[in-house]
Structure 1
Amino acid sequence: MVSDTTKPGRDRQFVAGGEGHELRHFTEKLGLLVTQAQELIDRVGNSREARNAAAQLLKG
Structure 2
Amino acid sequence: MADDPTKKGPADRTRVSTSEAHELRYWSEKFGVSHDELKRAVAAVGNSAEKVEAYFRDRSRDARR
Give identity over the alignment, percent.
33
How many equivalent pairs are there?
A: 53
Whichever structure has more helix as a proportion of its residues is: 1
Q: Which runs of 5+ in 2 are unaligned?
A: 2-10
Runs of at least 4 residues off by over 3 Å: none
Instruction: Find the aligned partners of 2:35 and 2:60 in 1 and give their Cα distance.
Output: 14
Aligned CA distance change for structure 1 residues 43 and 11 (closer, same or farther; 3 Å): same
Q: Which runs of 5+ in 1 are unaligned?
A: 4-9
Task: Give the equivalent residue in structure 1 for 2:42.
Answer: 41
Aligned CA distance change for structure 1 residues 30 and 11 (closer, same or farther; 3 Å): closer
Normalising to structure 2: TM-score of the pair?
A: 0.66
Normalising to structure 1: TM-score of the pair?
A: 0.70
Task: Give the equivalent residue in structure 1 for 2:28.
Answer: 27
